[in-house]
Amino acid sequence: MKLPIIAMDGAVLYDMNDNSFLMSYEMSYLQARKVIEFLENEHISYFANVVIDDVLVIYYNELGNRAEQEIYKQMRKSPYRNYMKRPLPENENVVYFMMIEKKERIEKLYEKISTQEWADECKILMYDSTDYPGYAYIKIYHKDATRENMLRNLLALLDMEKTVTFGSIEGTCDVCVADSNRNLMVKKMKQYFEPVKRKM
């Protein structure tokens, strides 16, 4: 990828060539502590994703279910992720929290989260897991962490005005690809567009 990528559902802008995080929307330590206290009171384990000096560090407490254990086993091999079994260090900002539990428990947790006084400060996503049937995710981000916001930042960084977005949901993108398979998405991009060369 020649251009920086928008990752973590709009929470970060990452330069793969330079291995650096150019920009991120983060929860402050105080905001993160509110989330952690709530989750600990609910006896829910979590992964807290933090960017420190261009390194993604994922803090966790316990691996409380099969899905968490499998995710840890697979993802810890990635050179882009560094797992640490310890509490969130003081004054570290959090890019996002991730929880995965049985779907019924996640749905109840989502309802409780929505009533918390800090909920308006966050973007909260809930969705089913395709890799672990019967399980579902909750992810909690800073409220401004959206793909649209980060795309505006990327345009400003590159001094560009026009974009073309691809996706699999009608009405949410410029070019809709019914099958969201990544290989098909790349083929569609190559089919519709030729590489753009900048004039010197």
pLDDT in tens, the chain (200 residues): 688 999 999 999 999 899 999 999 999 999 999 999 999 999 999 999 999 999 999 999 999 899 999 999 999 999 889 999 999 999 999 999 999 999 999 999 999 999 999 999 999 999 999 999 999 999 999 999 999 999 999 999 999 888 877 776 677 778 777 765 667 767 776 776 666 555 54
Strand pairing report for 135-142 and 122-128: antiparallel
pLDDT at position 180 is 57
Angstrom CA distances, 62 to 27, 58, 65, 75, 133, stand at 22, 12, 9, 16, 21
Q: Decide: 125 and 8 in contact? Cβ < 8 Å.
A: no
Q: Does domain 26-143 have CATH number 3.30.1240.10?
A: yes
Return the domain boundaries, the chain. Answer: 26-143, 164-200
pLDDT at position 179 is 61
pLDDT at position 175 is 76
